[in-house]
């Protein structure tokens, strides 16, 4: 871990600063808005973890088991102070940008191009749509797919990450 941090600390710091700048407009929000899909937040807040898992996993309609569990954890930590919820979003965005960079580096792409390609994530409309709102799950799926590609040589871990991605949204494909 120490060698990893020594090798990547500058890149991690650059990505962290740019991620915080990107998410900073959302940090002043302190209550749910219509676009934040507050119903998910209140559904998560009003149930316990086991009940959320069972209800969401085994229903036949659209489901998002782990998204609601994530929302429950965020609610338990920060209640309705959504600025902190958006800091969690920033953490996932930062991890996604770095995972993209790391994957490109594993593919022997030059550092400057890997940084540039990773940072293009910040200007994509889908990034704004998914990280400026709290009710979406695509950002978690994307991160888990990236991680599964990084760990592709560890087949079981990679398969687990892909399966986990399905449980953030639309796990009804299993039933």
Of 12-16, 77-81, 84-88, 99-103, least confident by mean pLDDT is: 77-81
Q: Under the phi-then-psi rule, with left for phi > 0, alpha for psi from -120 to 50, and beta for the rest, what region is 133?
A: beta
Longest dimension (CA), the chain: 48
Closest CA to 66 of 140, 159, 127, 132: 140
Tens of pLDDT, residue by residue over 19-37, are 999 999 988 877 666 665 6
**pLDDT score of 172:** 44
- Residues 67-75 have a mean pLDDT of 87
**pLDDT score of 148:** 96
CA distance 89 to 139: 9
Token duo for residue 48: 């316990």
Q: How many CB atoms lie within 10 A of CB 53?
A: 17
CA distance 77 to 48: 14
Domain ranges of the chain: 8-174
């Amino acid at each position: 871990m120490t060698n990893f941090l020594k090798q990547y600390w500058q890149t991690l710091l650059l990505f962290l600063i740019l991620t915080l700048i990107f998410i900073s407009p959302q940090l002043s929000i302190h209550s749910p808005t219509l676009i934040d899909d507050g119903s998910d937040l209140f559904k998560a807040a009003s149930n316990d973890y086991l009940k959320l898992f069972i209800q969401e996993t085994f229903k036949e309609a659209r489901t998002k088991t782990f998204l609601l569990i994530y929302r429950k954890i965020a609610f338990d930590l920060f209640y309705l102070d959504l600025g902190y919820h958006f800091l969690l979003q920033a953490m996932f965005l930062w991890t996604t940008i770095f995972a993209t960079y790391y994957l490109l580096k594993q593919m022997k792409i030059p550092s400057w191009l890997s940084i540039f390609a990773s940072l293009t994530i910040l200007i994509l409309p889908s990034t704004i749509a998914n990280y400026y709102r709290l009710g979406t799950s695509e950002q978690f799926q994307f991160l888990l797919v990236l991680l599964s590609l990084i760990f592709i040589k560890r087949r079981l871990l990679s398969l687990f990450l892909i399966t986990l991605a399905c449980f953030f949204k639309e796990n009804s494909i299993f039933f």
